[in-house]
């Protein structure tokens, strides 16, 4: 096992019928900015429940935050925070709303000229404006970690930020929220969480037995409850397992003491930037070809995965590894998610070269757990995903 | 899954060669009380490394804390804290030293007349004097939770205490510390952690799929690395897995959203009080008979455990359940731990009645996940463990 440090101070409030509890978690007298997305919370009852819980606080709302939250829109919210003297924020939404709120948390206390520098210059946020979250879409794990991803439409960039100041003070996780989610978002959430577990796990053996088994546990549980959730989002037990898996997949725990890959996420972000494909679906496109391309170096772990997660016990390590990849793709497809780029766009044939060129032009260091996948490797992997 | 709240703010610093880091975690200018046990840390180098890390702080030492820390001895340390104006504590030891330090943390800020009331009247500690830990014996998980157990030799009581104010600020977990531990303590640590996972898991199915798999992961990993640790405590990889399993088994995570049993711990504490048997070994004595006595009500979960943890797939649920119990006892015995009370004392024949009478006299509510095991049940279970 590698040396590590781990601290996650977010308080999780999990279960149904607990929205009123958030009032106890917000400092008395706080002036609250409530952030949310496109307005679905006004149809499914979450908006009303949250507003009722906040009735003793002065609340200003900032809605309309889209998927892949955009820097320049968030500057409007930043202005409100400063002009109104906001002292606490409450993000009511999925990963995009929570990530946007994390940016605002950092920017509110940032004393530089240009808040984009937090992302462009990778400035770590040691302290942020405190905030909580009410999660409405299980997927990203942002409700229990200190990272965020923000897009800048003027520069065409999508960068990540983080730091210990960006953990939510609390997160309310109510599994009943998935009842009104469209099938597409449910499938995306299962895929995103599965990929988080897989990308932190699928490297090479480092004798971190418990981390391996925890990652396998998350994947096994998603494989079990994913189809149940898709079939009946009002199945509370399945929804609860799904929601808790999403949180545990990216709250920092399973990445501690082990190498992590994340090349699939890096390539996927570019597919979203180029084609506007849903984040989770870009991961589905890249995963299979990434593992086939890196079969030799990941063979031992792929075989372990095939054995433990998929029960594939016959064959050589290579045969098991390949069978595990096939099972993974079949699982993704069973969620209604296509695994080839050509299913999403007709102009796919330029993708590999374009993405490789983007990596080259940024002067990025290599991708993957060995940090040695070059733009040429990326080009081949994306090509294999056509 | 049941509703739950979860927050664990302890910062874990895991790995070798990191003792110097603790200086960064203690507030500058702090006046530190360093607590420790019988002095083994002076032989194995830990004392010197910690003292070196603390060289910029004013440090007062309080050593000699025994297993099952005793209230009246700790009053001497409490006097030092108050007279010297201690502002931070550092526990260097195993669960007993850490538990003692938690009592001191609470008592230092307690404004009642009689600090024993914190335990006797179950006063929850919302705020304590801040402290960190340097773990020297993996076992109890106390390094990453907010609970403690303290004995009072005058009243013959052994009570637990807790509250959110009692999480360590940080805990340093260095797997190399087990190199100089005696076989007996290694075996006790494996048994204690295994029982923690087992007692939180072995109840009835509540469709908390991830919690089940996490508990199974801890047990599977302990079954795998336990024998390696016993054979060669200098095997760093095995030691790391062992240490991390101990922490994860009782840091709160796997008990969230599920019922928990803890009857084995409750009966075990009485065997320690009556016969002075090591805590971990009392769990080994009670476990098998507890599960056999409650076979009907725990059958479904016992069968799941047998299948997933021990790979027992043939037979009826009852046959699998019984086979799982046998495998568990064989594993415990393989650590060199006897599983019958008569192996520890000649005067065992009065134990069942005495323990049942103790429970009766205290007017305790029932034990187990259904809170309905009566003193008469306890008497039968302990008898079965002779």
pLDDT tens per residue, range A55-65 = 999 999 999 99
Cβ of A5 within 8 Å of Cβ of B17? The answer is no
- pLDDT above 90: percentage of residues in chain A: 94
A154: helix, coil or strand?
coil
Residue of chain A whose Cα is closest to the Cα of B17: A3
Same domain, B155 and B124: yes
**For all residues of chain B together, what is the average pLDDT?**
96
Same-domain pairing of A272 and A332? yes
User: Which of A17, A146, A210, A228 to mutate against chain B (most B CBs within 10 Å)?
Assistant: A210
To the nearest 10°, report the CA torsion of B182, B183, B185, B191: 170
Residues B75, B186, single domain; the answer is no
Question: Residue A263: its pLDDT value, please?
Answer: 97
Asked if pLDDT for residue A67 goes beyond 90, the answer is no
Buried-exposed string B60-80: b where 16+ CB fall within 10 A, e elsewhere = bebbebebbbbbeebeebbee
Q: Give the span between the Cα atoms of A35 and A100, in whole angstroms.
A: 9
Confidence of residue A342 (pLDDT cuts 50, 70, 90): very high
pLDDT (mean) for A357-364: 88
Q: Give me the residues paired with residue B14 across strands.
A: A4, B173
The pLDDT-based confidence of A261 (bands split at 50, 70, 90) is: very high
In which band, very low, low, confident or very high, does the pLDDT at B369 lie, cut at 50, 70 and 90? very high
**For residue B190, what pLDDT is reported?**
98
**Sheet holding A88-93: strands in order across?**
A58-62, A31-36, A88-93, A131-135, A170-173, A4-14, B4-14, B170-173, B131-135, B88-93, B31-36, B58-62
What's residue A363's pLDDT? 82
Of B8, B17, B220, the CB nearest to A213: B220
Report the range of poorest mean pLDDT among A86-95, A98-107, A323-332, B358-367: B358-367
Do A202 and A291 touch, CB atoms closer than 8 A?
yes
For residue B238, what is the nearest residue in chain A, using CA coordinates? Answer: A207
Domain finish residue from B123, B152, B176: B176
Whether residue B1 lies inside any domain: the answer is no
Domain membership of residue A5 (yes or no) is no
A103/A99 Cα distance (integer angstroms) = 6
* Predicted confidence (pLDDT) per residue in A181-236, tens digit: 999 999 999 999 999 999 999 999 999 999 999 999 999 999 999 999 999 999 99
Question: How close does chain A come to B214, measured CA to CA in Å?
Answer: 6
Confidence of residue B273 (pLDDT cuts 50, 70, 90): confident
Shortest CA gap A371–chain B (Å): 23
pLDDT of residue B37: 95
Residues B172 and B186 in one domain: no
For residues A213 and A383, what is the distance between their CA atoms, to the nearest angstrom? 32
List, in sequence order, every residue forming a beta bridge with A14; answer none if it has no partner. Answer: A173, B4
The burial class, CB within 10 Å (0-12 / 13-18 / 19+), for B142 is buried
Q: Are A136 and A177 in contact (CB under 8 A)?
A: yes
Q: How far apart are CA B139 and CA B285, in angstroms?
A: 17
Q: Nearest-CA residue of chain B relative to A208?
A: B241
Nearest-neighbour CA in chain A from B169: distance (Å): 10
Calculate the dihedral angle through the C-alpha atoms of B184, B189, B192, B197, rounding to the nearest 10 degrees: -150
Cα–Cα distance between B168 and B132 in angstroms, integer?
A: 5
User: Is A225 inside any structural domain?
Assistant: yes
Query: What integer pLDDT is reported at residue A175 of this predicted model?
Result: 98
| CB pair distance less than 8 Å for B5 and A17 | no
Give bridge partners of residue B161 from the DSSP assignment: B148
> Distance (Å) from the C-alpha of residue A157 to the closest C-alpha of chain B?
34
Question: Which range (A156-160, A249-253, B53-57, B62-66) has the least confidence?
Answer: A156-160
A1·B12 Cβ contact <8 A: no
User: For A234-248, what is each residue's pLDDT tens digit?
Assistant: 999 999 999 999 999
Smallest Cβ–Cβ distance between B213 and the set A207, A208, A221 belongs to A221
Mean pLDDT across the stretch B270-290? Answer: 95
pLDDT band per the 50, 70, 90 thresholds, residue B156 = confident
Tally of domains within chain B: 2
Structural domain ending residue among the three candidates B176, B205, B230: B176
- Closest chain B CA to residue A236: B1
Percent of chain B with pLDDT over 90: 94
Q: Which residues of B touch A (CB under 8 A)?
A: 1-18, 175, 207-211, 213-214, 216-218, 220-221, 224-225, 237, 240-241, 244-245, 248, 256-257
Residues of B in contact with A257 (CB under 8 A): 14-15, 240, 244
Residue of A nearest to B13 (CA): A5
Residue A4 lies in a domain: no
What is residue B153's predicted lDDT score, i.e. its pLDDT?
Answer: 85
**Do B12 and A13 count as a contact with CB atoms less than 8 A apart?**
no
Which chain B residues are Cβ-neighbours of A11 within 8 angstroms? 5-7
Instruction: Mark whether A313 and A345 lie in a shared domain.
Output: yes
Tell me the average pLDDT across A320-343.
Answer: 98
Contact A213 B221 (CB under 8 A): yes
DSSP alpha helix (H) spans, chain B = 22-25, 46-53, 71-84, 95-108, 117-120, 183-201, 209-231, 236-249, 263-275, 279-293, 295-310, 317-334, 351-361, 375-384
- Per-residue model confidence as pLDDT tens digits over B193-236: 999 999 999 999 999 999 999 999 999 999 999 999 999 999 99
Question: What pLDDT is recorded for position B155?
Answer: 81
**Final residue of a structural domain among B176, B204, B220:** B176
Mean pLDDT, residues B351-356: 96
Length of chain B: 386
Interface contact flag, A210 B217, Cβ < 8 Å: yes
Residue B364 has pLDDT above 80, yes or no: no
Tell me which chain A residue has its CA closest to the CA of residue B245. A210
Encode pLDDT of B182-194 as tens digits: 999 999 999 999 9
For residue B104, what are the domain limits?
11-176
What local confidence, expressed as pLDDT, does residue A157 receive? 79
Q: Is the pLDDT of residue B157 over 90?
A: no
Q: Cβ–Cβ of A208/B240 closer than 8 Å?
A: yes
Q: Is residue B3 part of a domain?
A: no
Looking at residue A68, its pLDDT comes to 83
Instruction: Give pLDDT, residue A76.
Output: 96
Short-list A133, A198, A128, A136, CA closest to A170: A133
Q: What mean pLDDT value characterizes chain A?
A: 96
Nearest to B135 by CA among B10, B218, B46: B46
Q: Is residue A1 part of a domain?
A: no
DSSP A158: E
The CATH number for B277's domain is 1.20.1090.10
Q: Are strands B4-14 and A4-14 parallel, antiparallel or unpaired?
A: antiparallel
pLDDT at A364: 76
B172 and B187 together in one domain: no
> What pLDDT is attached to residue A16?
97
Mean pLDDT over residues B13-35, rounded?
A: 98
Instruction: For residues B59-81, give the mean pLDDT.
Output: 94
> Is B260 found in the same domain as B186?
yes
* CA distances for B275 relative to B90, B99, B209, B280, B347, angstroms: 31, 21, 39, 13, 9
Same domain, B164 and B260: no
Tell me: ipTM over 0.95: yes
Look at residue A322 and tell me whether its pLDDT is greater than 90: yes
| Beta-carbon-side half-sphere exposure of residue A261 (alpha carbons within 13 Å) | 24
Of B12, B214, B256, the CB nearest to A217: B214
Residue A156, pLDDT above cutoff 80: no
Phi and psi dihedrals of A64, rounded to 5?
Answer: 85, 15
Are the CB atoms for B50 and B92 separated by under 8 Å? yes
pLDDT over threshold 90, residue B100: yes
Pairwise CA distance, residues A203 & A261, whole Å = 6
Average the pLDDT over each of A166-170, B155-159, B276-280 and give the range with the smallest value.
B155-159
Note whether B283 and B369 are same-domain residues. Answer: yes
Sign for the CA dihedral angle at A42, A43, A46, A49 comes to: positive
State the angle between helix axes of B295-310 and B279-293 in degrees (0 to 180), rounded to the nearest 10. Answer: 110
pLDDT at A164 over 90: yes
In a domain, B2, yes or no: no
**Residue A3 included in any domain:** no
Q: What is the mean pLDDT of residues B284-295?
A: 98
> Alpha-carbon dihedral of residues A111, A273, A91, A122, nearest 10 degrees?
-30
CA distance A179 to A386: 34
pLDDT of A210 reads 98
Domain shared by B230 and B345, yes or no: yes
**Domain check: are B240 and B295 in the same one?**
yes
CATH number of the domain that residue B170 is part of? 3.40.50.1970
Q: Do B244 and A1 touch (CB under 8 A)?
A: yes
Mean pLDDT of A103-118: 96
Q: What is the pLDDT of residue B68?
A: 83
**What's B62's DSSP letter?**
E
Domain shared by B270 and B147, yes or no? no
How far apart, in whole angstroms, are the C-alpha atoms of residue A38 and residue A97?
10
């Amino acid at each position: 096992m590698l040396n590590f440090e781990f601290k996650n101070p977010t308080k999780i409030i999990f279960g149904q019928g607990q929205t009123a509890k958030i009032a106890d978690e917000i400092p008395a007298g706080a002036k609250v900015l409530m952030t949310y997305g496109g307005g679905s919370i006004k149809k499914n009852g979450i908006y009303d429940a949250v507003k009722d819980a906040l009735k003793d606080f002065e609340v200003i709302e900032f809605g309309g935050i889209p998927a892949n939250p955009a820097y320049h829109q968030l500057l409007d919210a930043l202005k409100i925070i400063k002009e109104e003297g906001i002292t606490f924020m409450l993000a009511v939404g999925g990963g995009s709303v929570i990530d946007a709120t994390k940016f605002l948390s950092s920017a509110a206390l940032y004393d530089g000229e240009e808040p984009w520098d937090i992302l462009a210059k990778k400035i770590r946020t040691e302290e942020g404006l405190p905030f909580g979250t009410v999660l409405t879409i299980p997927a990203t794990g942002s409700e229990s970690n200190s990272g965020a991803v923000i897009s800048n439409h003027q520069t065409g960039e999508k960068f990540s930020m983080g730091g210990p100041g960006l953990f939510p003070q609390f997160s309310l996780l109510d599994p009943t929220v998935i009842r009104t989610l469209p099938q597409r978002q449910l499938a995306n959430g299962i895929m995103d969480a599965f990929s988080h577990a897989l990308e932190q796990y699928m490297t090479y053996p480092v004798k971190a037995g418990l981390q391996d088994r925890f990652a396998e546990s998350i994947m096994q549980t998603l494989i079990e409850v994913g189809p149940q959730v898709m079939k009946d989002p009002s199945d509370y037990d399945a929804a609860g397992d799904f929601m808790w898996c999403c949180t545990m997949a990216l709250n920092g725990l399973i990445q501690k003491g082990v190498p992590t890959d994340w090349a699939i996420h890096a390539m996927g972000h570019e597919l979203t930037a180029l084609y506007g494909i849903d984040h989770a679906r870009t991961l589905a496109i890249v995963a299979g070809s990434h593992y086939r391309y890196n079969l030799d170096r990941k063979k031992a772990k792929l075989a372990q995965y095939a054995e433990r997660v998929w029960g594939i016990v016959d064959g050589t390590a290579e045969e098991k590894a390949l069978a595990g990849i096939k099972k993974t793709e079949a699982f993704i497809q069973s969620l209604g998610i296509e695994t080839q780029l050509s299913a999403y766009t007709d102009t796919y044939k330029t993708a590999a070269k374009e993405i490789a060129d983007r990596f080259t032009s940024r002067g990025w260091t290599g991708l993957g757990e060995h940090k040695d996948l070059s733009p040429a490797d990326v080009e081949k992997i994306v090509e294999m995903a056509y």
